[in-house]
Amino acid sequence: MLYQSHIYKIRMHQHSPINAYLLLAALNSTFVQRQIKSFCVSQDIIDSLGDKIRLLRIPIPKSADTRARITTLVTKVIGDRTEARELARRASEEIMAA
């Protein structure tokens, strides 16, 4: 698979103290989004973060309870979106079958 230069693939270490759902929430936080916008360099019509991605400060709550609560919320959001997409697909199929 080819990735364009402005797309980053982030992998979590298997024994990371945080999980992918918590990282997703952190990356979507206003704090991180502001950093990303301030670091972006324009390349024609696509903005690129470049190597500055390594400078991002990611806010991770110290409380294990808070981290667990955020993980649960993000997991639910993703599950709900997946279910909504599946329901919409089924509705479209039923229209075509009618």
**pLDDT tens across 45-78, in order?**
555 666 778 888 999 999 999 999 999 999 999 9
pTM, to two decimals: 0.73
pLDDT at 6 over 70: no
- Is the CB of residue 45 less than 8 Å from the CB of residue 79? no
